[in-house]
Amino acid sequence: MTPDLTEQRLREQLHAAAEAQTGSYLDVDPLTALDTGQRALRRRRIATVAGTTAAALAIGLGGWAVLSDSAPDDRTLPAVTNTVNGPSVTLPLGADPASGSEEPLSAVVTVDQTSGKVEFRLRTETGSVLNSQVRTGSDQQAPWANLSDSVMAAVVPAEAAAFVPVWSVAVTQQETATEVLPDGRIAAAWRTDVPSTGPQFAGVVWTDGTTAYTASGQALRSTPVDDLVIFANDQSGAFGYLRPEEESASGSGAVKQARELEPPPAPIVGVWAPDPSGDGGAYVVYLPPISQAVADQITVETTPEARVRDVTTYFPDGSSRMAVAHIDGPPEAVIGITFPGLEDLDPFRG
């Protein structure tokens, strides 16, 4: 039965009752009573609907809270990004198809001198950000980041007279860019080839001209030799040299891993530091544990066209053993270093 018919029957019944009981209900207006009843009914309906809506909203919020905690939907929830406010520099690195973009790339480095935060961004020429990472480091540390398989960036302390990137395996550096930040620190970025083993950047080694340091600020066993600072990391097996250069913010240098050394009985190989004049260079070798008596018998083997001027062993901090040989000739003329008992030693594996 429709509401209109129901109301009509109620009106008829009330009118009939009122006419029959006129004397008993002289002060009652049946139409007023009906209208009051309708308003009460409407209020009850509105209250019921409002209560249902509130319950549905509460369930909805509760359900969203549960879903948000257990299964966030990346398509609808905004991404949380870290941003750093402060001086910024842009380091151009050229195009790198391996990054997924055919456009020239740049590493954008932004520093916050108050918090110590550093933001590294890999950006295309048209402004698209391919990667963004935030690191934190003190003035004596060199925060760094892998921005892709082939692009890496770091911020080196202002005291750095020279620094080199450290790779976990051999790579080919294709592009390098550096720029001094307003606080004196140096922003650097490198683009390399892409080895099949994936990201290969493992930080930097830097020197103040006397001592070499890791990216975390740990002092390495090192010593100045001529215009070089030679160093060795007993924990990782990394060794090499750094050379400060007035015309270069990064200087020059090279790092090698002890695990790359040829095992006995092959001669031990090292790192070549070319002479600034272009004639010859220094051959730097990280030695296995040997006595000074054995070290004095080290022989550097070369091809006939090269000449070994001298060989000197160094014991930075009395532990790591390194040899530096000055060679007249090209780097490919050096065959390796041998000494008595080499065939009985296990190579240093770090």
**Residue 99 scores a pLDDT above 50:** yes
pLDDT tens digit string along 102-132? 889 999 999 997 888 999 999 999 999 999 9
φ and ψ at 307, to 5 degrees?
Answer: -135, 135
The span from the CA of 41 to the CA of 43, in Å, is 5
Per-residue pLDDT tens digits for 313-327: 988 766 668 899 999
Q: Where are the domains of the chain?
A: 3-70, 81-219, 238-350
Residue 215 has pLDDT above 60, yes or no: yes
pLDDT (mean) for 218-226: 93
Q: Which residue has the higher pLDDT, 179 or 79?
A: 179
Q: Is the pLDDT of residue 134 over 80?
A: yes
11 to 25, 190, 225: CA distances (angstroms): 16, 91, 114
Q: How confident is the model at residue 65 (pLDDT cuts 50, 70, 90)?
A: very low
pLDDT: which is higher, 299 or 21: 299
What is residue 49's predicted lDDT score, i.e. its pLDDT? 35
Q: At residue 38, does pLDDT exceed 70?
A: no
Q: Would you state the pLDDT for residue 23?
A: 44
For the segment 243-262, the average pLDDT, to the nearest whole number, is 83
